[in-house]
Chain A
């Protein structure tokens, strides 16, 4: 069974008197372990699709199953729970809590799922070590470089062992060298069996993925698989 299963998903927004159809009747399946890039110009609906896949939003119509759970019917609290359990987010602007150190940032999802303090600490330290920041755990975001910040964000996304890693323009705020570092990290995570969904408008970045889905005007314009990328 596929990890992500979208069936006839539509999402409309009301903008004054006008109704905007951000997604029109989109159907999509993503299997466990896939590395997918979602591309499209701004206004194509890729952010909307990402929000839906990430359970931050629910569709106006259609059916969404994530890991066997019917997300389209969930209320606010159930969505929060499933985000905590199933999804790790990596944002373009990192979105770390600026007043907390790296360790606390990574611990946060574990606090929300109620893990005991000592175990939480161990798991968080482990996740930071995995992204190569074992020696930066007590640094605050403003004491870290951009690449290091994004690594903290990746550690935070992975710490709950989610079934899906969802990255929104993860290299958008990084220079090309650190961007490449992050992409290498993603490559490695993919090899270890994680499911990755990458939202980007950069062809170079999308090339790392094994499958590229292109959106245009709220519809899937193309969906093609490709050989292993340059990484």
Chain B
């Protein structure tokens, strides 16, 4: 009861102090506002990037395994050297997997190259040319905007047909209907049978700047090399662990590995990509928040300064309060509440500005997003800044000698 009354009294005093020194309060608050805005925006940017990435990467599908020579992440240089010596993957491996896997819904070999694509006089350079089969849409999460995708028969045969990505369609055809037209890749002619829906970016890599052709056509016409990977989507009812286990056992059988030999292939999954991305953004977040919190720190110093002025100015009031029975704790609390109020007030305004800025950034720059967590954290950080910055001045006020304080003018 006593404590509550003291806090109420503290709030009342803070309010009076704030409105009777408007200019000073505004300037002190400004420092905190800037600090909170920068910190919050940093948080919102990281949060937005993470969310956008998750949205993108979920297109890959959580139930797809990527069999490849290389492990995607956590490789040392030595790992990489030894993985480079592994046997390459070939179409026959994919065919064997298709025959032997029981828990997989679809097995899709994929091979890619980077080349220019020409239509009449126009050309698009650095397009991803992907050789694959009809199951590719299921593992890569795309859809068809126009025309059709490869059929099972197309996948097995080597017709000179292709499906083009959205960006390729826009760049080469500029409004013309691409279906049925012929484009040239590596000096061979391909007939466009479909256009993929817009997919956006993954880690800055455009998923729309690509052309998909039957894998046999790729191997016979473009480059007869090793596969990038074999994508295996687990069946609907299969347990993911079981599916992965089976995949590993079958791969080992195909590779004729003895029980004592280690795997000479890697099975990658989307969640590894997510974990890697999060570790990257966490690093950025730590550095970014450190730098932006410097702004908040400077704001805190401003508050400390103002509070010192406030304490000196109200020395006599402190003396009076002590004379009529205010304890050290009471005076300390009074000034802490005042500092915390200024900071909270600044924090809330800062959040408002950050919210508007987030909308603007999302509109014109990159995805950013405020979360409840960020909002709560920002308010708590503002409060904490107030308490920390206000402590020294408040402590000085609390320790004042009432006789000296009453004597001051």
Contact = CB atoms under 8 A, between A and B. Distances in A.
A188 interface: no
A89 B403 CA distance: 13
Contact of B403 (A51, A80, A117): A51
A76 B5 CA distance: 21
B326 interface: yes
A77 B327 contact: yes
Contacts of B283: none
Nearest to A50: B403
A63 interface: no
A89 B2 contact: no
Quick one: which of B6, B319, B326, B329 has the most chain A CB within 10 A?
B326
Interface stretch (A91-99, A143-151, A190-198): A91-99
Interface string B393-409: 00000000111001000
Interface in B313-345: 316-317, 319-330
A226 to B, nearest CB: 30
A56 B403 contact: yes
A160 B323 CA distance: 13
Interface stretch (A27-35, A108-116, A215-223): A108-116
| A interface residue count range (under 10 / 10 to 19 / 20 to 34 / 35 or more) | 20 to 34
Interface string A94-132: 011101100000001101111011000000000000000
A108 B403 contact: no
Interface string B5-17: 1100100000010
B325 A95 contact: no
A88 B402 CA distance: 15
A208 to B, nearest CB: 23
Interface of A: 51, 54, 56-57, 76-77, 80-81, 83-85, 89, 91, 95-97, 99-100, 108-109, 111-114, 116-117, 156, 160
10 contacts: A57-B401, A57-B402, A77-B327, A77-B329, A91-B320, A95-B323, A109-B324, A112-B6, A112-B324, A156-B324
Given A51-B403, A83-B324, 7 more contacts: A77-B328, A80-B322, A80-B326, A100-B16, A109-B324, A114-B5, A116-B1
